[in-house]
Every structure is written in C-alpha cells, then in structure tokens.
Amino acid sequence: MDLHSRVTDISGVGSIVKKKMEKLGITTIEDLLYHIPFRYEDFRKIVTTTQARVGEAVSIKAQVDNTSHIYSKSGKKMFVAELSDQFGKIKAVWFSQPYLSSIIRRGSNYIFSGRVEWIGRQKALVTPLFQHWEGSIPSSDKLIFPIYPETKGITSKWFRTKIGFLIDNYPELLKEFIPEKFAVGMMSFKDAVQTAHKPSDLEKVELARRRLGFNELLKLFITNQKRKENWKSHKSTAQLNIKKDILSRYEKMLPFQLTNSQITAIKEIFSDLQKTTPMNRLLEGDVGSGKTAVAAAACYAAYTLGYQSAIMAPTQILAIQHYNTLQSIFKNQDIKISLLSGSISKTTEGKTDIFVGTHALLHRNLDFDKVALVVIDEQHRFGVEQRTHLIVEGGKKGKIPHVLTMTATPIPRTVAMSLYGDLDLSVLDEMPKGRIPTTTWIVPPEKRVGAYEWIRQKIINEKIAVFIVCPLIEESDKESLKDIKSAKKEFENVRKVFPEFGVGLLHGRLKTPEKERVIDNLRNGKIDILVSTAVVEVGVDIPRAAIIVIEAAERFGLAQLHQLRGRVGRGNQKSYCLLFTQSHSEKIHKRLSLLSKHHSGAKLAQMDLELRGPGEIFGTAQSGFSKLKAASWSDFDLIKKAKNTSEEISKDKKLFTQIFRYFYGDITLLN
C-alpha cells in the first residue's frame, strides 16, 4: 500500500463507504492522511468518580455495573450506564443511541471521556467517548480525540480508527520524501502525520499542520512547474511575426482610449504570439476593465497574418456579448465574425476570421490547423479543461494554438502565482478613462423605505435600469430551489413596491432563450428592475443599468460584492451600489464600508483574505479554486517557502522527477 492506493484497499472500506468519502474529497490514502481534524477534544484530566466537577471535561476509569434504557421528561430515549470505581459511583448518559447496549458490557472496565453535567439532580457524563481499558491509565495520545469534518455514515471515531490503523501498520506511508535541507525548522513528515491525528501535545498540532500545509503547497508548485514544462514542449500552430504598427492601427479603430495596463497586456501577448512555443497566459481584470478589447487586439494580430481565432465563453449570454463587442470594434474592417452557440448561429459568408461561442465550440467546430489563437473566458476553472483538450488535439497534429485565458475574479497576486504558476500573468489594474466610479452605500433596515423612494425618482427622472440581487440561501455551487423561491418572493415584493415599473426575474433554472428575452427587455427599456439570484451570470454590458441593490450584503465577501458592483457603472451616468443589511454588527459594517473606500478588485480580495480568510474568496461562488486541507491561502510566508523550495528542487532534474513521482505515482505527464 502507498499514498496513491485507493481507499478501498483499506479493510472494511467498500463501495458504499467509498462514495461517502468522495463527498469529502477523499479517494486515496494520501487524501485520508491529509484529512485534518478541525478541532480536538482534550480529556487528559483523569479524575475519580467523586472528583468529577460539573462543567469540566474529564476522563474516568470505571467499571460498568449496570445498563438500561429510559426516557427523559421530553420523551427522548436515553441509554444509561451506571459506573463505579473504588471511590464512588457516577452515571454516563447517551441520547438516541440504543445500539450502545450491544457494545458497552456490564462488568467490563472502560475509560469514559466527556463533559460532566447535571441530569436531573445527579451528576453524569453526557455522551462521553469511551474505550475498553483493563490495564493502567492510558497515555495522553489516547485521551485527546481528533474531531474531523464528517459526512452521513462516517464519524470522527471511524476516521480515528482507520487513520490510526494506517499510521500503526504502514510506516512506509510516512517516509520522508524531501532532503533534510529543505525541511529545516519543520517537523518530519512522519511526526507531522502522527501529531495531527494522534497528538500527545496539543501545542505541537500547529507545527504538524504547518508541515502538512507545506507539502500541499509544494505539490502545487511542483505540479505547476511540470505543467509549464509540458506546455513548452509543444510547438505553436503559428509563430506570428507581428508588425510593429499593428497596435497603433488597432488603437485607431477604437472609439475609446486604451488604458496603460491594457497596452502593457497587449504588448505582453504580442510578445508571446511571436514565439514558437504556444502562449499560455492568464489575463486578470475587474468587470469592465476592458479584457475583451485586449483579446480583440490579439485576434486582430492573427487576422493580419491570415490566421483564425476563437473566443469561448462559459454561457451563451456572454458569448453573445463578446460577439456584439467584436462586431462593434471591427465594424469598419473586413473581418468576418461567426457566432456559434447553442440554438443561435450567425455565420458569415466565406472564411470566418473569428469564431465566437460557448466552450462546446472547442469540441465541435474548430479546425486546429487554421486557428492560431484560442481565447477562453472562464470564470472559475481558468480553462484547465479546455487547455487539456487542446493538448490532446495538438498531440495528434503536432501543434497547438496560442491560449489566452481571461478572468474577472480578483485574486491577490501571491495567490494567483501559487494557483496558476503554469500560466504567465497579465493584470488590468485600471478602469477605462472616463469611467465614473460607482458610489457605494450601506443601507440599514430603517432607511429601506427611503432608499426605495430614491430609486423610484432615479428611474423616473433618468430612465435608468436597476438590478436587485438576492443572496444564496444554501452554500452550493448551483442555485437551490430555496434560492429560486427567495428570488421569486423578492420579485413579488418588488412588484408591489414599484407597481408603476416593469419588473423582471432571472435565475439559473430559466432556459437560455428566456434569459436572453429578459436581458433584452432590460436593455431596451421594457423592464426597469431586474430581480436576480446571485449565481446567475448577468454581468452583461447594459449601459443603462445604474443602480444595483444587494440584499443581505453581509453574506458576501468583499471580492464577491465588488464583482456584483461591476454590473453597473458601464454607461455615462453616475452609478450606485446599495448594500442592504439587517445586521447591526459594528464588525460587519466596518467590513462593508471598505467597499465605499476602495474600487480595486485585487485590493479588496487581499482585504478579504486578511479579514475573513480564504473561504470568502474561494467559496461557492468561485468553486473552481483549489481547496487546501492543511495550508491556508493567507499564510504568505509558507507559500513563499514552498515556492522557493520548488525552485531549488527544479534545479536538480533527478530530484525533481523523484519528488514529482512521489506526489503522482507513475503519472509522468500533466496537462
């Protein structure tokens, strides 16, 4: 058995348990060892039955004299064990666990560990953990109980038993895999695993977590380096010898002036396009920062040299937006653009220069002998699946196109370099000139009515459109029925508050034609207010949208609120973001107020990380981010140490290969 063995190789783990473990992201022995407890129950205080004090967490070695099933006054079924030692007696009580009568035997000795509470007028151990014990008092590591993230049917006790079995019986799993010089000041891997899962000293648990976190991050960096190495082993479909005047010619087509960061990004992309190895670049920028204009410049460069490009979006709505934007930019040029997306097909006569569609376009319509550039607009997974497909297809023909991946998700640079070290990074950190910053206000309950009246006057006087966004009720990557019901309820409420205006509803269960109809109605003024769930992609370009109301704003992270705010402020008029909250917490108001002071997504993402931890940034709304079990995205020192270590290891090809194979077994190619 090794770290890459399946969990089904463990005795007692069958197909049913396997499926349950998959819900926790556990499929291999390595996953199981890195399934770190989130807290520990400390029962090292060993007392006699007479020394037990109410409110204390203690352990008592006692004999079971008798057991019985009784009902509490509230009707709950209790299993009661009467315990004794040489000093006195005490009871242990469990609720709704009748099966314990077949496990806890009369006349046997156990260590009972739990909290002492009053049951009626008697002291009792309530729902104590227990272990059969006939000898002397157990060591400390037997009285500290790790509590794990669980799922239905798999308890912390199950994890303690299975992981303890692996640690005790398979020492080869814990062998050190990096030279000692790279682990200076850290626990050995063996000690880290043992301390995390079977601690005898809780003060050392954080050191164990740090070492396991280092391993996680090192694997990430080693993986990125291998991916980058593999990518560079391919030849590009075309080495584009871009003329020096292409950028200036492109700028003359535009009805607006490019920002300095757009110009820098375009130059970085042009440099990549002229190489024999295919470009693999991530373009990060806030909503409205002009990523499509940068991508269009790359498409134009390919066109001038006789090559085709393809732009792919995650939804049909966004594909249509890209198509319209490109049509606007190239309206006076002989550049043929085709939209191929779902039920919609707008093709040009003759050869297409730029294809636009959803990601399905990649698998159906492209001839990779002619397409020199692929642009992937992917909010969450950053095109990993698409790049994998390109490598597979390229492997068949020997060459792959240049790839530009775009994201509006603000990521702190340190984290971006950790997550996507296999991609070169360009950042748009300026908004287009003339863009008026959106004013952000926090609206408490007592000002809601006044806010509604203010919105009414804005719609009447300025003919603007309004978004009202409902929060996610359930933590999920997809809308639940509860979320949609919440939006529908808000939709009905808004119609009552604003009976004189057209109100629309948008959520993920609507079919694409219906979504498009709703958005078109908002764009052309048939509806004035759009009520939407939070996960629906309504980040399309609607210049007349000038107010966004975010209900229960405290449920969102700063980065998420900033992205929602980016749905307005795309026209010439002044725009506003109203954060509605029922909370009176000073901490929450202080956090939300940061949005009124800062307009940089990257800055707010950094603040999110420092204030609330990585869960707010890499949560359900951005679910494709790597989920760390032991490390933290806010531990910049550990990230830096792992990155430096991976760079040192990469200098020794033999050691790099050895460690890569340790992480991945026999896999020698990563896409």
Identify the DSSP state of 628.
P
Single residue among 556, 573, 598 that ends a domain in this structure: 598
Residue 75 has pLDDT above 90, yes or no: no
Average pLDDT, the chain: 86
Q: Answer yes or no: is 136 within a domain.
A: yes
Q: What local confidence, expressed as pLDDT, does residue 314 receive? A: 81
Q: Answer yes or no: is 279 within a domain.
A: yes
Higher-confidence residue of 366 and 87: namely: 87
Q: What local confidence, expressed as pLDDT, does residue 281 receive? A: 92
Q: What local confidence, expressed as pLDDT, does residue 670 receive? A: 52
- Return the minimum-mean-pLDDT range out of 46-60, 264-278, 368-382, 645-659: 368-382
Q: Answer yes or no: is 283 within a domain.
A: yes
Task: List CB contacts of 550: < 8 A, sequence separation 6 or more.
Answer: 469, 471, 556, 561, 564, 577, 578, 579, 580
Q: Are residues 475 and 415 in the same domain?
A: no
Q: What local confidence, expressed as pLDDT, does residue 41 receive? A: 87
CATH of residue 545's domain is 3.40.50.300
Q: Are residues 374 and 242 in the same domain?
A: yes
Q: What local confidence, expressed as pLDDT, does residue 343 receive? A: 58
Q: What local confidence, expressed as pLDDT, does residue 620 receive? A: 36
Q: Are residues 389 and 455 in the same domain?
A: no
Q: Are residues 247 and 394 in the same domain?
A: yes
Q: Are residues 390 and 482 in the same domain?
A: no
Q: Answer yes or no: is 353 within a domain.
A: yes
Higher-confidence residue of 140 and 510: namely: 510
Q: What local confidence, expressed as pLDDT, does residue 616 receive? A: 44
Q: Are residues 299 and 334 in the same domain?
A: yes
Residue-wise DSSP of 168-235? HH-GGGG---S-GGGGTTS--HHHHHHHHHS-S-GGGHHHHHHHHHHHHHHHHHHHHHHHHHHHHTSE
Residue 412 has pLDDT above 90, yes or no: no
Q: Answer yes or no: is 499 within a domain.
A: yes
Stated as kind and residue range, the H or E segment containing 459 is helix 448-462
Higher-confidence residue of 626 and 93: namely: 93
Q: Are residues 329 and 453 in the same domain?
A: no
Q: How far apart are CA 362 and CA 312, in angstroms?
A: 8
pLDDT (mean) for 39-51: 90
Q: State which residues form the domain around 271.
A: 235-428
- Return the minimum-mean-pLDDT range out of 75-84, 493-502, 608-617, 642-651: 608-617
Q: Are residues 416 and 517 in the same domain?
A: no
Q: Answer yes or no: is 535 within a domain.
A: yes
Q: Are residues 446 and 593 in the same domain?
A: yes
Contact 299, 373 (CB under 8 A): yes
Q: Are residues 405 and 447 in the same domain?
A: no
> How far is C-alpha 623 from the geometric centre of its chain's CA atoms?
3
User: Which pair of tokens denotes residue 528?
Assistant: 């004035």
Q: Answer yes or no: is 384 within a domain.
A: yes
Q: Are residues 447 and 419 in the same domain?
A: no
Q: What is the tally of structural domains in the chain? A: 3
- Model confidence at 370, in pLDDT bands (50, 70, 90)? confident
Closest CA to 638 of 1, 20, 183, 3: 183
Q: Answer yes or no: is 193 within a domain.
A: no
Single residue among 428, 462, 496 that ends a domain in this structure: 428
Residue 668: exposure state from Cβ atoms within 10 A (0-12, 13-18, ≥19) = exposed
Q: What local confidence, expressed as pLDDT, does residue 583 receive? A: 86
Q: Are residues 354 and 452 in the same domain?
A: no
Q: How far apart are CA 13 and CA 31, in angstroms?
A: 14
CATH of residue 50's domain is 2.40.50.140
Q: What local confidence, expressed as pLDDT, does residue 392 receive? A: 67
Single residue among 546, 569, 598 that ends a domain in this structure: 598
User: Which pair of tokens denotes residue 373?
Assistant: 């550039």
- Model confidence at 617, in pLDDT bands (50, 70, 90)? very low
User: Which pair of tokens denotes residue 239?
Assistant: 């080495």
Q: What local confidence, expressed as pLDDT, does residue 230 receive? A: 83
Contact 401, 374 (CB under 8 A): yes
